[in-house]
C-alpha cells in the first residue's frame, strides 16, 4: 500500500483490535472512512437511525464481552448517538463510537452539520477524543479500546475531522501497549481489607450476598457461585447482574429492590452482613437510604473506587476486580452453614412467591410461557417498563450475558436494536472467553426481545436493518395499550388520572408492520394461542418474527416499593 491516510489507518487499527462489525450510517464527512471500509473485511451494518447503531453496538458488547463499535456522521448523526452512549455509560458497557467532524479549519464557525460532539458527550462517556493530528490517530484508537474495556468499562468517543481522515501519515505504526498517565484501574484488592472481610463473613449469622453487573463484567460468576456455596449465603442479584448467579439455585433470591422479590428485600433488610459485589447501591434497590438494610455491616467490592461509599458507606471497602478479589477472599474462608437463617429464607420464599391473579391473558403468563418454551436458554433483551420488570421476575437466567437490558438510564427503544447486536455477537468468534457459546448450542442460539407497544415504537425502524441483515431475532410484544409503568403509577398515586399514557391498540398493526418490512408476525389474544405462536417463531431462521400479545390492560407489577420508600412500605399485591 502507498502512503497511509487517516481513513485507511483508522480501518487498519480497527482490524488490529479485532473489530468484525461496525454499526452506523455514513454522511458527507465520513466519505473517506467509508471508502476505506469498502476494501475491508469488517462488516458494516447499515442501520436506519444512529441511536439504533449505538444500541446495537451495546447489545453486541454485552452479549460477547467484546467492545462494540458504532459510527455516525457529524452534526445530527453524532448527536443521535448520545442517548445510546449515555445508556452504555450508565451500565458500564465498552463501546467505541467514531464520529465524523467538519474539517479542522471549519470548526467553530457554525459550519453545515457542525456540532461539538466532543463537548456534548463528555458527561456520558468514559473518555472523548477530538483528533487534531493524523499521526496521533493509531495511538488514539488503541487507547480508546483500552480505556473502553479496562477497569470499569464504558463508551469512548473518537471525533475525526474530514481533513484528518484524508491527511497522510508521516509513519504508520500500531502501538503495542497503551500507556496512560493517571489511568491505573485497580486489580487486586488490599490484602488487609480482604482478610477483614473474611473474618466478618465468618462471624455473620445472617450473611447475604448482593451482586450486580460487575460480577458479569469481571467474569466472576464462577467465583461468586463457589463462595456462596462455601458459606451457604443467599444471593440476590440486581437486574444488571441477572445470570451472574444461577436463578434456579436454592440460594438464589432473584432481584431485589422496587420490583424485586419480597424475600430478597426481606433478606437484605434482616441481614447482619452484606457482601456487595460489583454494585452501585442504585436507588431502585435501596429506596430510602436511611432505612436500607439497617441491621447490616457492609463489605463493598468494586473496581471503581468512586462507587465505594458514594451511596452507602461500607465498613470494609475493597477496591479491585471482583474475580481476583473473590479468589483471594475464598482463601481465608471456611465452610459454614447458618441453619436458622436459611430456614427463615425458605419461609419467606413460601410466604411471598411471585404470582398473579385474575382471568384473561396476563403478561406474567406470556413471559413465563416463553421461558418454558425456550427452556430458559435464549438470550433475552428487553426494553423499559412493566414488561422489563416482569421479564426480570419470570425469565430466569442460568448464565451471564443472557439478560440484556437498559438498567441505569432506562432507555425505551433499546431492546430491539440491542437484540440485533446480540444475535450478531453469537455468530462471531474470537475475543474473550465466550459465555454465549452455550446459547449458540441451545435454543438454536436464539435471541428474544421482550418489548412493549410503547417501547417498540421508539426504534421499530430497525426492523428494516434486521431484515436486510437476515437477523432472525424474535420479538414478544407485551401490548396493553398504555405506557404501562407510568399508567401504574398514575393508578396508584394519582387516583387513576390517566394523562398522556393511552396508546390505541392496533395503531399500528404490528403484524402488518412486520410484514411490510419483510418480516413475519402473529397476533395472540388468548392463552392457548401463545405456545403455537412461539413454536412458529422458533421455526423461522432467516428473518425476524414478531408476536403481538394483547394482554390485560391494567395489570400491575408487584411487589412494589414506592420510589424513595422503605421496605416496610412494600406492596406485595
Q: Residues 296, 280: contact at Cβ < 8 Å?
A: no
Regarding beta strands 68-72 and 127-130, do their DSSP bridges make them parallel or antiparallel, or are they unpaired? unpaired
Q: What is the pLDDT of residue 179?
A: 80
d(CA 259, CA 380): 19
In Å, what is the CA distance from 46 to each residue of 70, 95, 103, 375? 10, 17, 24, 33
Helix H or strand E encompassing 78? helix 76-79
Report angle CA 13, 18, 20 to the nearest 5 degrees: 105
**Residue 10: pLDDT band by 50, 70, 90 thresholds?**
very high
If we measure between CA atoms, which residue out of 185, 119, 194, 117 comes closest to residue 154? 185
d(CA 33, CA 11): 8
Poorest-pLDDT segment among 168-177, 309-318, 466-475, 559-568: 559-568
Res 165 pLDDT > 80: yes
Res 562 pLDDT > 90: no
3-state secondary structure of 62: helix
Q: What is the pLDDT of residue 186?
A: 86
What CATH number does domain 6-166 carry, 3.40.50.2000, 3.20.20.210, 3.40.50.970, 3.30.830.10? 3.40.50.970
d(CA 27, CA 265): 50
**Beta bridge partners of residue 252, listed in sequence order:** 235
Res 442 pLDDT > 50: no
d(CA 397, CA 400): 8
In Å, what is the CA distance from 455 to each residue of 155, 448, 450? 23, 15, 10
What is the pLDDT averaged over residues 428-441?
Answer: 45
pLDDT, one tens digit per residue, over 223-250 is: 999 999 999 999 999 999 999 999 999 9
If we measure between CA atoms, which residue out of 136, 120, 106 comes closest to residue 128? 120
pLDDT, one tens digit per residue, over 313-331 is: 999 999 999 999 999 999 9
In Å, what is the CA distance from 319 to each residue of 181, 218, 309, 459? 19, 13, 11, 38
d(CA 547, CA 450): 10
Q: What is the pLDDT of residue 2?
A: 55
pLDDT, one tens digit per residue, over 261-305 is: 999 999 999 999 999 999 999 998 998 898 999 999 999 999 999
pLDDT, one tens digit per residue, over 368-417 is: 999 999 999 999 999 999 999 999 999 999 999 999 999 999 999 999 99
Res 430 pLDDT > 80: no
- Count the neighbouring beta carbons within 10 Å of the beta carbon of residue 448: 30
pLDDT, one tens digit per residue, over 28-63 is: 999 999 999 999 999 999 999 999 999 999 999 999
**Residue 444: pLDDT band by 50, 70, 90 thresholds?**
low
DSSP 182: T
CATH architecture observed for domain 191-351: 3-Layer(aba) Sandwich (3.40)
- Beta strand extents in 166-238 (DSSP E only): 207-211, 235-237
Regarding beta strands 273-277 and 474-479, do their DSSP bridges make them parallel or antiparallel, or are they unpaired? unpaired
d(CA 185, CA 207): 29
Q: Residues 78, 99: contact at Cβ < 8 Å?
A: yes
Q: What is the pLDDT of residue 572?
A: 83
3-state secondary structure of 273: strand
Total-model pTM:
0.95
Res 164 pLDDT > 70: yes
d(CA 269, CA 569): 12
Q: What is the 3-state secondary structure (H, E, C) of 313-360?
A: CCCEEEECCHHHHHHHHHCCCCCCCCHHHHHHHHHHHHHCCCCCCCCC
If we measure between CA atoms, which residue out of 232, 236, 227 comes closest to residue 269? 236
Where do the domains of the chain lie? Answer: 6-166, 191-351, 363-550
Phi then psi dihedrals of residue 97, to 5 deg: -105, 125
Q: Residues 69, 98: contact at Cβ < 8 Å?
A: yes
pLDDT, one tens digit per residue, over 65-122 is: 999 999 999 999 999 999 999 999 999 999 999 999 999 999 989 899 989 999 999 9
Residues 6+ apart with CB under 8 A from 472: 423, 446, 540, 541, 542, 543, 544, 545
Phi then psi dihedrals of residue 337, to 5 deg: -155, 115
pLDDT, one tens digit per residue, over 112-161 is: 998 999 999 999 999 999 999 999 999 999 999 999 999 999 999 999 99
Mean pLDDT of the chain: 94
Res 256 pLDDT > 80: yes
Q: What percent of the chain has pLDDT over 90?
A: 87
Cell numbers 458494516 label which residue? 44
Kindly provide the b/e burial profile for residues 379-388, where b requires at least 16 CB atoms within 10 angstroms of the residue's own CB.
Answer: bbbbbbbbbb
Residues 6+ apart with CB under 8 A from 184: none
If we measure between CA atoms, which residue out of 335, 443, 455 comes closest to residue 399? 443
Phi then psi dihedrals of residue 420, to 5 deg: -65, -45
CATH architecture observed for domain 363-550: 3-Layer(aba) Sandwich (3.40)
pLDDT, one tens digit per residue, over 448-494 is: 999 999 999 999 999 999 999 999 999 999 999 999 999 999 999 99
Amino acid at each position: 500500500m502507498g502512503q497511509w491516510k487517516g481513513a485507511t489507518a483508522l480501518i487498519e487499527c480497527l482490524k488490529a483490535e479485532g473489530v468484525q462489525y461496525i454499526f452506523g450510517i455514513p454522511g458527507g464527512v465520513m466519505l473517506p472512512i467509508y471508502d476505506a471500509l469498502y476494501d475491508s473485511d469488517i462488516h458494516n451494518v447499515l442501520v436506519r437511525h444512529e441511536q439504533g447503531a449505538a444500541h446495537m453496538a451495546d447489545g453486541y458488547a454485552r452479549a460477547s464481552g467484546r467492545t462494540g463499535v458504532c459510527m455516525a456522521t457529524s452534526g445530527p448523526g453524532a448527536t443521535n448517538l448520545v442517548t445510546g452512549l449515555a445508556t452504555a455509560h450508565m451500565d458500564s458497557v465498552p463501546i467505541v463510537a467514531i464520529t465524523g467532524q467538519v474539517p479542522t479549519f471549519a470548526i467553530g464557525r457554525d459550519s453545515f452539520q457542525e456540532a461539538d460532539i466532543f463537548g456534548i458527550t463528555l458527561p456520558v462517556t468514559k473518555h472523548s477524543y477530538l483528533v487534531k493530528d493524523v499521526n496521533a490517530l493509531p495511538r488514539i484508537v488503541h487507547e480508546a479500546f483500552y480505556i473502553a474495556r479496562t477497569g470499569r468499562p464504558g463508551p469512548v468517543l473518537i471525533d475525526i475531522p474530514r481533513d484528518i481522515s484524508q491527511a497522510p501519515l508521516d509513519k504508520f505504526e500500531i502501538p503495542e501497549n497503551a500507556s496512560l498517565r493517571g489511568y491505573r484501574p485497580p486489580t487486586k484488592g488490599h490484602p488487609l481489607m480482604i482478610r477483614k472481610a473474611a473474618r466478618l463473613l465468618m462471624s455473620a449469622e445472617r450473611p447475604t450476598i448482593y451482586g450486580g453487573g460487575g460480577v458479569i463484567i469481571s467474569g466472576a460468576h464462577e467465583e461468586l457461585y463457589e463462595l456462596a456455596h462455601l458459606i451457604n449465603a443467599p444471593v440476590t442479584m440486581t437486574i444488571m447482574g441477572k445470570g451472574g448467579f444461577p436463578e434456579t439455585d436454592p440460594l438464589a433470591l432473584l432481584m431485589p429492590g422496587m420490583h424485586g422479590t419480597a424475600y430478597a428485600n426481606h433478606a437484605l433488610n434482616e441481614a447482619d452482613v452484606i457482601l456487595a459485589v460489583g454494585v452501585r447501591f442504585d436507588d431502585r434497590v435501596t429506596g430510602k437510604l436511611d432505612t436500607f438494610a439497617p441491621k447490616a455491616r457492609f463489605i463493598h467490592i468494586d473496581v471503581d473506587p468512586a462507587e465505594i461509599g458514594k451511596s452507602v458507606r461500607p465498613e470494609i471497602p475493597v477496591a479491585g476486580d471482583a474475580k481476583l478479589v473473590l479468589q483471594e477472599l475464598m482463601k481465608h474462608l471456611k465452610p459454614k452453614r447458618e441453619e436458622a437463617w436459611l430456614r427463615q429464607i425458605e419461609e419467606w420464599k413460601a410466604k411471598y412467591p411471585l404470582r398473579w391473579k385474575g382471568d384473561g391473558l396476563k403478561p406474567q403468563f406470556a413471559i413465563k410461557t416463553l421461558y418454558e418454551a425456550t427452556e430458559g436458554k435464549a438470550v433475552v433483551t428487553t426494553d423499559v417498563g412493566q414488561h422489563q420488570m416482569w421479564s426480570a421476575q419470570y425469565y430466569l437466567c442460568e448464565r451471564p450475558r443472557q439478560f440484556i437490558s437498559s438498567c441505569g438510564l432506562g432507555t425505551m427503544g433499546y431492546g430491539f436494536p440491542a437484540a440485533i447486536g446480540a444475535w450478531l455477537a453469537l455468530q462471531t468468534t474470537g475475543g474473550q472467553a465466550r459465555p454465549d457459546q452455550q446459547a449458540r448450542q441451545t435454543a438454536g442460539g436464539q435471541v428474544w426481545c421482550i418489548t412493549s407497544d410503547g417501547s417498540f415504537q421508539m426504534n421499530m425502524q430497525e426492523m428494516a436493518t434486521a431484515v436486510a441483515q437476515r437477523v432472525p431475532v424474535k420479538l414478544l410484544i407485551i401490548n396493553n395499550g398504555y405506557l404501562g409503568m407510568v399508567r401504574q403509577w398514575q393508578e396508584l398515586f394519582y387516583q387513576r388520572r390517566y394523562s398522556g399514557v393511552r396508546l390505541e391498540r392496533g395503531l399500528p398493526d404490528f403484524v402488518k408492520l412486520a410484514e411490510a418490512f419483510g418480516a413475519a408476525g402473529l397476533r395472540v389474544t388468548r392463552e392457548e394461542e401463545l405456545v403455537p405462536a412461539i413454536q412458529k417463531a422458533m421455526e423461522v431462521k432467516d428473518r425476524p418474527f414478531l408476536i403481538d400479545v394483547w394482554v390485560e390492560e391494567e395489570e400491575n407489577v408487584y411487589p412494589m416499593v414506592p420510589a424513595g420508600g422503605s421496605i416496610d412500605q412494600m406492596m406485595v399485591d
